[in-house]
C-alpha cells in the first residue's frame, strides 16, 4: 500500500489497554492520532479492552497503529490477534514483541549474539535467593514491565529482599542484574537504520517513571557527547540488537556507557511518542518531524499482508 492508498483506509489507533502503562499509552495514542489526522488519514481511536475483536469490527479497522505499552499490547498478544484477524499493523511481529517484552529472554538472546549486557540472574516467586548473584549494587526489575515500573537499586541484602518484594508485585519473574555506573544512552532504530544517540541525564539521578514523563525532570543531550568511535559503535550495536530480536518498524535500544565499554540493557519495540519521549527527539535531530515519523511507522504496516 502506498501512502495515498493508506489514506483511503480506516486506521485504528490502539491505545490505553490493560497494563500498568495505560496512562502513557493514552498520551502516545492521542499524539499519534492527531499527527495522522494532520496528515490526512481517516482514524478512529480505540481504548483497547478485553473485547478488542468486537471493538475492531465495530470500528471497521482496516489497518492498526499500535500505541499500546506493556502487557497485552507490547508483548505479542495483540500482534497475534491482529494476525488472526488479517489486519495489518505497525511495529514488530509476534515473536519479536514477546521476546523484547521479557527482559530475561532478551538478555539470553543478547548473550547468544555476543552483545555485551550486564551480568544477571533470574528469580521466580518462591525461589531461594542464590549466592551466585552478581556483586552489589544490583538492579531489580520485573521481567515484563516497562516505564521503570517496579524497578529498584539494591546495595545490600535487605534492600535486595525489599526490591524483590516490590518487583514480584508486578510480575512472577524478576531480573536481577549488575548495576553499571555510567552514562545512560538510548539509540532509536527506524526501519533498520540508527537514529542519533541521546544521553539521558535525570535531575534526580535515576531515570524513573517521574523523570521519564514529567517535562523538565530530565536533561537530554542530543547528540550524546561521546567519542566518535563510541558513538558509531553504539549505533552499530543498536542495529545488531534490532536485527537479533527480529524487530520491525521503530524500536529503541537502551545502553549504559562506561569509560571502557558499553552494555546493552533492553530493547523497546513500541517506544513512547509523548512530548517527553526519546524516539521523536532523535527523529527530529535526524530531520524527521513528528508527523513524518508517524507516517514512516504507519507505512511499515503496509508491508504486512
Known binding residues: 254, 266, 268
DSSP-assigned states of every residue in 138-203: EEEEETT--TTTT-EEESSHHHHHHHHHHHHTT-SEEEEEE---SEEEEEEEETTEEEEEEEEEET
Residue in 92, 211, 277, 295 annotated catalytic = 277
CB atoms within 10 A of CB 60: 11
In angstroms, rounded to a whole number, what is the distance separating the alpha carbons of residues 47 and 16?
5
* Vertex 220 angle, CA 215 and 113, to 5°: 120
Query: Please, what's the b/e burial string for 224-254 (b: 16 or more CB within 10 A of its CB; e: otherwise)?
Result: bebeeebbeebbebbbbbbebbbbbbbbbbb
Residue in 21, 45, 74, 177 annotated catalytic = 21
Cβ contacts of 123 within 8 Å, gap of 6 or more: 129, 164, 173, 174, 176
- Whose CA is closest to 265, among 155, 156, 180? 180
Residue in 19, 98, 147, 152 annotated catalytic = 147
Sign of dihedral through CA atoms 280, 281, 282, 284? positive
In angstroms, rounded to a whole number, what is the distance separating the alpha carbons of residues 46 and 67?
10
Is residue 23 within 8 Å of residue 54, measured between CB atoms? Answer: no
**147 among known catalytic residues:** yes
**21 among known catalytic residues:** yes
CB atoms within 10 A of CB 111: 12
Annotated binding-site ranges for Mg(2+): 254, 266, 268
**161 among known catalytic residues:** no
Q: Which residues are catalytic?
A: 21, 147, 277
Amino acid at each position: 500500500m502506498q501512502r495515498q492508498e493508506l489514506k483511503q483506509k480506516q486506521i485504528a489507533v490502539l491505545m490505553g489497554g490493560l497494563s500498568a502503562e495505560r496512562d502513557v499509552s493514552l498520551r502516545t495514542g492521542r499524539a499519534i492520532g492527531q499527527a495522522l489526522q494532520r496528515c490526512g488519514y481517516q482514524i478512529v481511536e480505540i481504548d483497547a479492552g478485553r473485547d478488542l475483536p468486537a471493538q475492531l469490527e465495530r470500528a471497521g479497522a482496516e489497518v492498526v497503529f499500535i500505541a499500546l505499552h506493556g502487557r497485552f499490547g507490547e508483548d505479542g498478544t495483540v500482534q497475534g490477534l491482529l494476525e488472526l484477524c488479517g489486519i495489518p499493523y505497525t511495529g514488530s511481529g509476534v515473536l519479536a514483541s514477546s521476546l523484547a517484552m521479557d527482559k530475561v529472554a532478551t538478555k539470553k538472546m543478547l548473550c547468544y549474539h555476543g552483545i555485551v549486557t550486564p551480568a544477571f540472574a533470574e528469580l521466580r516467586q518462591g525461589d531461594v535467593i542464590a549466592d551466585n548473584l552478581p556483586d552489589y549494587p544490583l538492579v531489580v526489575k520485573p521481567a515484563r514491565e516497562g516505564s521503570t515500573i517496579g524497578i529498584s537499586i539494591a546495595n545490600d541484602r535487605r534492600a535486595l529482599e525489599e526490591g524483590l518484594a516490590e518487583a514480584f508485585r508486578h510480575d512472577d519473574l524478576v531480573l536481577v542484574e549488575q548495576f553499571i555506573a555510567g552514562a545512560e544512552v538510548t539509540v532509536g532504530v527506524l526501519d533498520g537504520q540508527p537514529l542519533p544517540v541521546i544521553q539521558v541525564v535525570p535531575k534526580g539521578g535515576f531515570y524513573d517513571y517521574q523523570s521519564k514523563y514529567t517535562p523538565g525532570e530530565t536533561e537530554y543531550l542530543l547528540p550524546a557527547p561521546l567519542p566518535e568511535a563510541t558513538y558509531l559503535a553504539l549505533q552499530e550495536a543498536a542495529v545488531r540488537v534490532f536485527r537479533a530480536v527480529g524487530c520491525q518498524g521503530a524500536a529503541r535500544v537502551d545502553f549504559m556507557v562506561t569509560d571502557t565499554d558499553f552494555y546493552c540493557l533492553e530493547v523497546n519495540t513500541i517506544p513512547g511518542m509523548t512530548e517527553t519521549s526519546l524516539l521523536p527527539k532523535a527523529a527530529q535531530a535526524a530531520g524527521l518531524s513528528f508527523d513524518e515519523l508517524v507516517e514512516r511507522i504507519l507505512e511499515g504496516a503496509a508491508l504486512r499482508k
